[in-house]
């Protein structure tokens, strides 16, 4: 197999959806696995739906998730520029190519002008619905003679150009994921290839561009599968060799329906607020692809590339399981050097604080929000104690003051090595507590609350070692003052 050339071809009509990111990822993995070229092409032929900031959103997200584009638009120093010798890579800049293609189809009789008005087409749909018929164009202008069509176009009568779909026979398409799929021509309508605004539709533009850019494999979402016979018929009309096709399974929400905005955040950028980019890449790679092993955690794109195989992509839809995403994110957060995680999250802390504090929090945190809320007590200049929280339920104010005062006097006697090891500090502390004939709850509850200000917190000895001696003693002293100020 020659090195593949694949393209991710989004429309800049809104923010990059998580389904689009999955399509881009599978194209990228396939390309890198087989030593090919990953191309970004912007399909902006639907001019009415364009959103100006969409292109930058697409470029920023591909870069954020590590999907490096070999050809096509890139965001370099805040400016969009194109790389590659097959450009331009934006369809609105390729209109002469499509006009030549449509003229060729009209000349050979594979396409024809359609002069049906919007009103007629609306009435046709209403009639079909009333008769419980499948909606679709009825071929009203299909048999207009070329001379009449040419005369009406020359006179300035508005028209679209439709494909003259064969009405007999069938197209058998081979899909790399689904095998052979058969489409009867009688079920296909004469779709529009060229619009009245002078722009091609997706169907014409993507076929022309895939041929012109030497695309070898088209890996796209399942929703485009019904368009496959039309595209193959277009390739045949042009006498071009089509690329190979693979249609990825749908991503499904919790109700097993196609994932949508109703299921929560679905824009790729939104996930960057809560998840490590590689955790998201790891997660969405498993939405439809199964490595056929027990492995679920992939530390990097390079490792994922080695395992990826298009033949292991499933036909069935994949459930977007948030619990699984959070589990993988926890693993990725723990695997990152703390200072890198802090930078990624834009935490307001020093590298030293990140190294000391983050391992405690990421032990159980699943999202960036969990980390931000969990680390707050460690970064706080001063804790605000909830009234009476420092006193155990079975304890007294006086006993709590006695215990905390004893800690204030004893902890400085622990060696520096002990302060660097939570297990060592725990062993020495528990021995000291027992020597004083206190229960663990009598001693450790007020100590933990003094250091965290929380009813529930990570391990008290891990907290103490992370805060270090000076900060620990400061917090105990303030906790003592707080308890003293409580009413008897």
pLDDT in tens, 37-76: 999 999 999 888 989 899 999 999 999 999 999 999 998 8
Per the listing, tokens 């070229």 go with: 37
pLDDT band at 355 (very low <50, low <70, confident <90, very high): very high
CA 170 to chain centre: 37
Q: How many beta carbons lie within 10 A of that of residue 423, not counting itself? A: 12
Whether residue 78 is predicted with pLDDT greater than 90 in this model: the reply is: no
pLDDT tens per residue across span 230-267: 999 999 999 999 999 999 999 998 888 887 655 555 89
pLDDT at residue 265 in the model: 56
pLDDT at residue 260 in the model: 66
**452/454 Cα distance (integer angstroms):** 5
Whether residue 486 is predicted with pLDDT greater than 90 in this model: the reply is: no
Which residues carry out catalysis? Answer: 261
**422/411 Cα distance (integer angstroms):** 13
Whether residue 274 is predicted with pLDDT greater than 70 in this model: the reply is: yes
Backbone angles phi, psi at 220, to 5 degrees: -145, 175
Average pLDDT, the chain: 94
What's the half-sphere exposure (Cβ side, CA atoms, 13 Å) at 372?
A: 12
Peptide bond before 88: cis, by omega within 30 degrees of 0?
yes
Q: Tell me the mean pLDDT in the region 125-142.
A: 92
**123/271 Cα distance (integer angstroms):** 44
Whether residue 330 is predicted with pLDDT greater than 90 in this model: the reply is: yes
Cα 151 to Cα 17, 101, 107, 158: the distances in Å are 45, 21, 15, 12
pLDDT tens per residue across span 400-429: 999 999 999 999 999 999 999 999 999 999
pLDDT at residue 185 in the model: 95
Q: Which residue has the higher pLDDT, 133 or 32?
A: 32
Does domain 94-248 sit in CATH 1.20.120.80? no
Tokens (6 digits) for 228: 């496959």
Cα 487 to Cα 206, 399, 480: the distances in Å are 77, 14, 13
Q: Tell me the mean pLDDT in the region 274-284.
A: 98
Beta pairing partners, 71: 39
Does domain 5-91+251-319 sit in CATH 3.30.450.70? no
Domain ranges of the chain: 5-91+251-319, 94-248, 337-379, 397-485
**56/417 Cα distance (integer angstroms):** 52
Q: Tell me the mean pLDDT in the region 286-301.
A: 94
**Total-model pTM:** 0.92
Same fold? 5-91+251-319, 94-248 = yes
Looking at domain 397-485, its CATH architecture is Orthogonal Bundle (1.10)
Query: What does DSSP assign to residue 62?
Result: H
**178/246 Cα distance (integer angstroms):** 8
């Amino acid at each position: 197999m020659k090195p593949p050339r694949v393209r991710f071809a989004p429309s800049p009509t809104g923010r990059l959806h998580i389904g689009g990111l999955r399509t881009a990822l599978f194209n990228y993995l396939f390309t890198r696995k087989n030593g090919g070229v990953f191309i970004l092409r912007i399909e902006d032929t639907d001019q009415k739906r364009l959103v100006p900031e969409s292109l930058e959103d697409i470029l920023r997200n591909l870069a954020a998730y590590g999907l490096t584009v070999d050809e096509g638009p890139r965001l370099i120093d805040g400016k969009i520029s194109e790389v590659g010798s097959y450009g331009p890579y934006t369809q609105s800049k390729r209109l002469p190519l499509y006009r030549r293609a449509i003229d060729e189809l009209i000349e050979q009789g594979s396409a024809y002008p359609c002069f049906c008005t919007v009103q007629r087409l609306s009435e046709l749909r209403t009639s079909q619905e009333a008769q419980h018929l499948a909606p679709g164009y009825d071929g009203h202008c299909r048999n207009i003679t070329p001379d009449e069509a040419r005369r009406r176009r020359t006179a300035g009568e508005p028209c679209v150009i439709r494909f003259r779909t064969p009405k007999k026979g069938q197209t058998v398409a081979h899909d790399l994921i689904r095998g052979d799929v058969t489409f009867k021509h009688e079920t296909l309508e004469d779709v529009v290839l060229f619009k009245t605004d002078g722009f091609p539709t997706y169907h014409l533009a993507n076929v022309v561009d895939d041929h012109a850019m030497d695309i070898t494999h088209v890996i796209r979402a399942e929703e485009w599968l019904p368009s496959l016979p039309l595209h193959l018929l277009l390739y045949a009309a042009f006498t071009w060799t089509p690329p190979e096709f693979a249609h990825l399974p749908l991503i499904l929400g919790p109700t097993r329906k196609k994932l949508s905005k109703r299921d929560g955040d679905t824009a790729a950028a939104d996930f960057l607020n809560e998840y490590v980019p590689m955790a998201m890449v790891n997660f969405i790679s498993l939405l439809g692809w199964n490595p056929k092993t027990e492995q679920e955690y992939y530390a990097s794109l390079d490792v994922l590339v080695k395992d990826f195989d298009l033949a292991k992509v499933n036909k069935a839809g994949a459930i977007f399981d948030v619990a699984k995403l959070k589990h993988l994110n926890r693993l990725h957060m723990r695997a990152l050097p703390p200072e890198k995680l802090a930078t990624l999250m834009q935490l307001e802390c020093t590298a030293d604080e990140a190294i000391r504090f983050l391992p405690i929090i990421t032990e159980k945190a699943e999202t960036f929000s969990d980390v931000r809320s969990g680390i707050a007590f460690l970064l706080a200049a001063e804790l605000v104690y909830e009234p009476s929280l420092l006193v155990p339920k079975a304890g007294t104010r006086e006993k709590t003051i006695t215990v905390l005062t004893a800690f204030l006097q004893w902890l400085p006697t622990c060696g520096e090595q002990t302060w660097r090891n939570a297990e060592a500090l725990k062993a020495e502390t528990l021995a000291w507590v027992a020597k004083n004939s206190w229960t663990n709850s009598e001693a450790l509850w007020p100590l933990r609350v003094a250091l965290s200000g929380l009813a529930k917190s990570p391990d008290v000895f891990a907290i103490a070692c992370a805060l270090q001696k000076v900060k620990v003693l400061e917090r105990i002293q303030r906790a003592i003052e707080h308890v003293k100020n409580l009413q008897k």
